[in-house]
Amino acid sequence: MGRVTTRRRVVRVVEGVPGARPDTLTVEEPLEIRVGGKPLTITMRTPGHDFDLAAGFLVGEGVSRSAKDIHSIRYCAGATTDGANTYNVLDVVLADGVAPPDASLERNFYTTSSCGLCGKASLDAVRTTATWPVDGDDLAITPSTVAELPGRLRTAQLVFDRTGGLHAAGLFSADGELLCLREDVGRHNAVDKVVGWAARDGRLPLSGTVLMVSGRASFELVQKAVMAGIPLMAAVSAPSSLAVDLAAELGLTLVGFLRGTSMNVYTRPDRLGFS
């Protein structure tokens, strides 16, 4: 497996005075995901929990709905010309009877760490049909519990403490218990790793849970939450207009600008006790 962090020499300037020192950086490397030996996508990610990343990615695409839909996931040997294994290429073998990804939903073979949807053929193709509708989820959570989530997420970000350069996604219960946390250089990768953990552990759908993300709330993150059956997503920063539109359309509660006791509830405020 690749390293999560690496060290580089930097010149640190404090009050105009330079000095040499080592600095810890977050590792960013490509991961190629294949399905049945056929290349599907390449994403830039932080190594670690790669099987969860692949499984969560397939849940978001509507390919996989349970642990039984995936027969196996393995790293591909001989990923380089000299036969070495880089641990940057993995192959997912679907279970018998599970349809492969629709070619119309394939990425243009590359996504960056900042964008989970680059290369989608059209907006309509992105609106993946949800397996578990969230509009009827009876989740009830107090505003005070929601307000505590960013702090609990930040406390659990061990790699961020060393690098300051990672996004995080955390899955919480309605009473604020942290169920799973994943860090990655990409927002969408962190969410995929959380969803993939749940998928491989047989926990889907994630009814009655909350997804907390460290950055902004984008369209693709709302879609990934809905595809996993999560009824509430909260972000410390702003949502996009398309994220709010999709959340309203599908019945997801979307919270943004969650800082201290303040927050904006953009959709379905009834789950927090507001009319």
| Catalytic residue ranges | 115
Sign of CA dihedral 258, 48, 231, 216: positive
Are the beta carbons of 222 and 137 closer than 8 angstroms? Answer: no
Q: What are phi and psi of 74, to 5 degrees?
A: -145, 150
Q: What angle do CA 178, 180, 186 make, to 5 degrees?
A: 120
Q: Tell me the H-state helices in the chain.
A: 50-60, 123-126, 143-155, 158-163, 187-200, 219-227, 241-250
The token duo for 235 is 């972000």
Edge-to-edge, what's the strand order for the sheet holding 178-184?
Answer: 178-184, 167-172, 210-213, 232-235, 253-259, 262-267
* Interacting residues of 151 by C-beta distance below 8 A, sequence separation 6+: none
Closest-CA residue to 234 (of 205, 202, 272): 272
CB atoms within 10 A of CB 132: 17
Closest-CA residue to 54 (of 86, 97, 88): 88
